[in-house]
Amino acid sequence: MTVSDPVVESVVATISRSATEIRQGLIGRRGTVDEENPSGETQAEADVWADELLGDRLAAIDGVGQYASEERAEIVDCGDDPSSTDAYAVAVDPLDGSSNLKSNNAMGTIFGVYDAALPARGDTLVAAGFVLYGPITTMVIATDELITEYELSGGERTVVDRDVTLPAEPVVYGFGGRVPDWPDDFRAYAREIESELKLRYGGALIGDVNQVLTYGGTFGYPGLESRPEGKLRLQFEGNPIGYVVERAGGRSSNGSQSLLTVEPDDLHDRTPVHVGNEELIDRLEDALA
């Protein structure tokens, strides 16, 4: 199965073909480099390597005007005019959860294809998705037309679910940040949720969100007392994940509105991120109002 837009399909095919190589390339790249990314986080050797690999390949696609990565301070001009209706901008978190490398736990790759120059609102996305490097390498792709899950092997995609939808009955939850750093209103909401659902939190956004897509429930990384703006990046994580979950029938929120309607000021803007079943996100927004 392919995506109908040829440029988007080229982006998806490039990421899916690269995923097996990225997974294999993690071996021997579990250390850190003596540099920080634009968000001030220590970079893993694998972060830099995956970014360079994806950046070179995605920037070479005809119809891609910009490439941006969580690991780079600046947008890469790929040659096509990003303001043109024929050019897309691709934003990537090359290795989400790379801090899990040391303990050999789940990681992923997140991407969003924007029909606008970056930084852009999430409602300009035409496709978004992620690769999960779990026991099996899987890929979820959302477009305006459909949301599909694949298994990846040898550069090939095999359909697992042609119409991914969020289960109606929520089962799991996962909340990030240190509990003493949670604002009181979010802490009260979290206490309610943890009495109703099962905790699933692994420290990699993709793994935690995929639990929600699989079983229903909610994931949240709230604004903290020490960091009200949140931890996750809007362009590279919040918007793509919000797009996927909303296409699957759920909701996304920064605490007061859909992530897809947040106006960005900067390429590396941070945001609180909450996704999941509609009723749970409604309750979150009521709690934080």
Q: H helices of the chain, where? A: 6-25, 45-59, 184-194, 205-215, 239-247, 278-288
DSSP state at residue 168: S
Q: Is 97 annotated as a binding residue?
A: yes
Q: Is 237 annotated as a binding residue?
A: yes
Q: Which amino acid is at 127?
A: A
Q: Is 152 annotated as a binding residue?
A: no
Q: Is 96 annotated as a binding residue?
A: yes
Q: Is 93 annotated as a binding residue?
A: yes
Which phi and psi (to 5°) does residue 218 adopt? -150, 145
CA 200 to chain centre: 17
CA distance 259 to 185: 20
| Crossing angle of helices 184-194 and 278-288, rounded to 10° | 150
Tokens of 208: 């935690």
Q: Is 201 annotated as a binding residue?
A: yes
Write out the E strands in the chain: 32-36, 42-44, 64-69, 76-77, 88-96, 107-114, 125-133, 137-143, 147-153, 156-161, 172-175, 198-199, 217-221, 232-233, 251-253, 270-271, 273-276
Q: Is 155 annotated as a binding residue?
A: no
CA distance 88 to 7: 8
Tokens of 262: 């947040």
Q: Is 231 annotated as a binding residue?
A: yes
Q: Is 98 annotated as a binding residue?
A: yes
Question: Annotated binding site for Mg(2+): which residue ranges?
Answer: 70, 93, 95-96, 237
Question: Annotated binding site: which residue ranges?
Answer: 70, 93, 95-99, 201, 231, 237
Question: Annotated binding site for substrate: which residue ranges?
Answer: 96-99, 201, 231
